[in-house]
Amino acid sequence: MSELMNRQWLFANYPQGLYKPGDFEWRKEPVRALEDGEVLVHNILLSLDPTNRAWGFKHDTYLPMMQPGDVMRGICLGVIEDSRHPNYPPGTYVGGMTGWQEYAILRVDEDGRLPDAGVFPRDPSIPLSTYLGLFGHIGMTAYYGLLHIGKPRAGETVVVSAAAGATGSLVGQIAKIKGCRVVGIAGGPEKCKRLIDEFGFDAVVDYKNEPVAERLAEVCPDGIDVYYDNVGGDISNAALALINLHARVVLAGQIAMYNDERMQSPRNVMNLIMQRGRMEGFVVLDFMADEAASTQATMELAQWYKEGKIRFRTHIVDGLENAPTAVNMLFDGSNHGKLIVRISDDPGGPI
């Protein structure tokens, strides 16, 4: 029988600016035999996230900094192919931090859990990629960031940056379900048209082709009650200038700053004082660690999805070998939906 080989990307260098091919190292090695209490996960889909760049910072973030030689950190969905633990039989679907690699060996801990991963029942009628985005960390980021931190009320104006992306498009659609007027900021006519036609936003600002401050003021004649910030920089500065009394600013991400840590925070934060506003950051892992909270969000998102109230786009790139270049699509905006790498095929249904 031929030896099972693993293919992996190792983190090699702390990047300067965008990731470059030399910041990773490609390794092929045999998969070792399992020991008692271990399972072998065959990764199927790898999520590429803007935070992958923050994980390359040479300091701790909300997770410890990576070290050169580590398997590149990454969120994957996969299936157990071999097992030496009775609670985790082959065929079980697993999602979690199993890294930029085809196979991961996980050791079940003393409480019977998999480290940084969980199992899920896979409905074969739903594409697996939906579990990675909508029913996974992206859906949870949009749901909890908007509803628990933004606390939108019907009739209020909600503005979302990086609105055509995975998180932003969901935030806008959930805000519409809650009866808000929703304005999206995105780059280019194609994405802006999609915000109106596909995701049901009320108005858009094309930050690549329009003066953001002027245009945002035009499309928000009643000011901004909730600003869901995925971007930071000048875009957030323009939004902060327009906030209403007791506005809520949700700090989900600062993608404009991930490749340039010297970039300054928006100067209009002073307006939070004038308007008695609140700005709050969050990390979705905190909500995901709470089983009851995760279940509630997933059930509600699944219900809206089934009822056709929310749509979710994925952008799938084939081949683990392409992950280091594909990750930069998040920073030039060439992804059109949740960016995912297909590592292998799914025996249980469509991707």
Euclidean distance between the first and the last CA atom of the chain, given in angstroms as a whole number: 29
> Does residue 206 bind ligand NAP (CB under 6 A)?
no
> Does residue 191 bind ligand NAP (CB under 6 A)?
yes
Using the contact rule CB under 6 A, the part of the chain among 30-38, 82-90, 277-285, 292-300 near ligand NAP is: 277-285
What is the closest distance, in whole angstroms, from the C-beta atom of residue 70 to ligand NAP in the complex? 20
> Does residue 51 bind ligand NAP (CB under 6 A)?
yes
> Does residue 330 bind ligand NAP (CB under 6 A)?
yes
Please name the residue that has the structure tokens 């939004």.
Answer: 239
> Does residue 282 bind ligand NAP (CB under 6 A)?
yes
Using the contact rule CB under 6 A, the part of the chain among 11-19, 47-55, 146-154, 217-225 near ligand NAP is: 47-55
* Distance of alpha carbon 109 from alpha carbon 268, whole angstroms: 47
> Does residue 231 bind ligand NAP (CB under 6 A)?
yes
Using the contact rule CB under 6 A, the part of the chain among 103-111, 118-126, 253-261, 270-278 near ligand NAP is: 253-261
Residue 225 CA: distances (Å) to CA of 196, 242, 333: 20, 9, 27
> Does residue 14 bind ligand NAP (CB under 6 A)?
no
What is the closest distance, in whole angstroms, from the C-beta atom of residue 172 to ligand NAP in the complex? 12
Per CB under 6 A, the list member of 130, 230, 294, 314 interacting with ligand NAP is 230
47 forms beta bridges with: 75, 340
What is the closest distance, in whole angstroms, from the C-beta atom of residue 35 to ligand NAP in the complex? 34
Q: Read out DSSP for 49-78?
A: -THHHHTTSSS-SSSPPP-TTSBPP-EEEE
Site size toward ligand NAP, by CB under 6 A:
30
> Does residue 74 bind ligand NAP (CB under 6 A)?
no
> Does residue 149 bind ligand NAP (CB under 6 A)?
no
Selection from 24, 5, 47 nearest residue 317 by Cα: 47
Q: Which residues contact 61 (CB under 8 A, 6 or more apart)?
A: 51, 54, 55
Burial class (CB in 10 A: 0-12, 13-18, 19+), 146: buried
Dihedral sign of CA atoms 313, 317, 323, 324 in order: negative
Residues found near ligand NAP in the complex (CB under 6 A): 49-51, 137-138, 141, 162, 164-168, 186-187, 191, 230-231, 235, 252-253, 255-256, 282-284, 330-331, 333, 335, 338
